[in-house]
Structure 1
């Protein structure tokens, strides 16, 4: 791979996305810490883990896995966004188009990191609410929304990159 190496400066939006993402992960852990002692020992777990039973219930300590795992994933995504030259692109990267494509790829990763941190916050919040006896009807909307965002965001950025490079 003989791609140009360009240092991409973060915009205010890029910095804001990073801050919001890490605040949501931190907020997930904080809200869990605040309500942890009020939760029953077993509660509905809204993410896949081998420790939950066939009914979807697991020990409340499983909830700590989510902010830790999502925090690691978001951290890796943000580290990766600092090295856009190693990513795959649908076009040939040349010196004249490198800066734009690198910025777009880095931004896409930051937006995905924000969606992932929102996912963490949502799952923790839903599990806590369910554990406290509240069953909001949001559950049926959140999964399709998040799946749509995780698939749609890369597709939108793909179209933007292709449109810019082929017009």
Structure 2
């Protein structure tokens, strides 16, 4: 038996000012992360933190070359989410998409991706900054409140999206 899915409408929903601001802020954070690693490279010790536990304490050390992974992964996520935001008609939505609600749902989903993109890139930049700082001996980890704050921001963003999506059925 063939599973035939209903196609969601393809619409050209104009980009909003908020989306442009999120995109610019994300790009700035992405560039900052790369430039920061480049600027700090010669002053960085050979051994830096490569992993933090749930309490924000360093529980793994490695070569400073491993620090390059953070901006690379951040750049890949940034690029992927940026490209994905151009195709809201292919997303999975928590409710049916109709001709009547498609434009509003697509815009809301694109804004969600914009916020998540910014939050992820900022998180990777923060971890990069902390890793360099701790590696140089100016700190001891992310801090006890980092994980709850990070999870609160990410899940809070998702919660806001779901509430708004269901309100605008």
- Fold shared, TM-score > 0.5 on shorter chain: yes
Shift of the 113–47 alpha-carbon distance from structure 1 to 2, 3 Å rule, reads farther
Shift of 1:144: 1.8
User: Once superposed, which parts of structure 1, at least 4 consecutive aligned residues long, lie more than 6 Å away?
Assistant: none
Distance in 1, matches of 2:123 and 2:101, equals 33
Spell out the pairing of 1:1-167 with structure 2 (5 A cutoff).
Answer: 1-46=6-51, 55-135=59-139, 139-165=143-169
Could you say what the CA RMSD is over the residues aligned between the two structures, in angstroms?
Answer: 1.8
Give CA deviations for 1:19-73 in whole Å, capped at 9, x if unaligned: 111211110111111111111111112469xxxxx94001001111111111111
Matched length: 160
Shift of 1:3: 1.3
Q: Secondary structure at the match of 1:43?
A: strand
Return the structure number with greater helix share. Answer: 1
Distance in 1, matches of 2:9 and 2:75, equals 30
Distance in 1, matches of 2:89 and 2:136, equals 47
Shift of 1:140: 2.0
Distance in 2, matches of 1:20 and 1:139, equals 25
In structure 2, stretches of 5+ residues that fail to align are 1-5
8 Å contact 2:52–2:59 — kept in the other structure?
Answer: no
Shift of 1:142: 2.2
Distance in 2, matches of 1:138 and 1:66, equals 15
Distance in 2, matches of 1:118 and 1:46, equals 17
Shift of the 97–143 alpha-carbon distance from structure 1 to 2, 3 Å rule, reads same
